[in-house]
Amino acid sequence: MLRVSKLTDYATVILTHIAHQPDELHAASDITQSTGVALPTVSKVLKLLSKANILISHRGAKGGYQLAKKPNETNVAEVITAIEGPIGMTECMTSKGTCEQEPSCEIKGNWSLINRAVYTALEAVTLADMAAPVRQQAVSVVMPMTKETNELKVEN
């Protein structure tokens, strides 16, 4: 079904919450209350985000987490990568040399382009976007094209 994991979904909810008060410290226990996600799970997500330098942590009493960068400087692709690891639509994209039919594979190149297109789409959405009301914009994405149409359809 091509979906992100639950943890990633939690991560966006949590980060969106934090993005509303970017300068304050947010303890895991506070976030549990405001999001409804169980404490151990919240804790796990926060650790992963901290490790990926999306959040900065402060230990000890009165500690907590805050955004490492401005809300518009962290995007969804980074969040997904922090929780799930590198984004690659097929196994061959993330784990090199594993695939037996790699030498003769003719579709790898196209998957790589699809990959880039999806990544670009995810990269275009920031925490600021998530925290803000929904509006619309257009973004250009690199894609493979058919043999027949030998020129760019849309230029950016």
- Site residues for ligand FES per CB under 6 A: 92, 99, 101-102, 105, 107-108
Using CA atoms, how far apart are residues 108 and 116, in angstroms rounded to an integer? 12
Instruction: Kindly list the residues in this chain that would bind a copy of itself in the complex (CB under 8 A).
Output: 1-4, 6, 9, 12-13, 16, 36, 72, 76, 80, 84-94, 100-101, 105-107, 109-114, 117-118, 120-122, 124-126, 128-147, 149-150, 152-156
Of 147, 135, 128, whose CA–CA distance to 16 is shortest? Answer: 128
Residue pair 56/66 in contact (Cβ under 8 Å)? The answer is yes
Of 20, 133, 117, 122, whose CA–CA distance to 31 is shortest? Answer: 20
Selected from 16, 35, 43, 66, the binder of DNA by CB under 7 A is 43
Binding residues vs DNA (CB under 7 A): 1, 5-8, 10, 26-29, 38, 40-41, 43-44, 46-47, 50-51, 57-65, 84
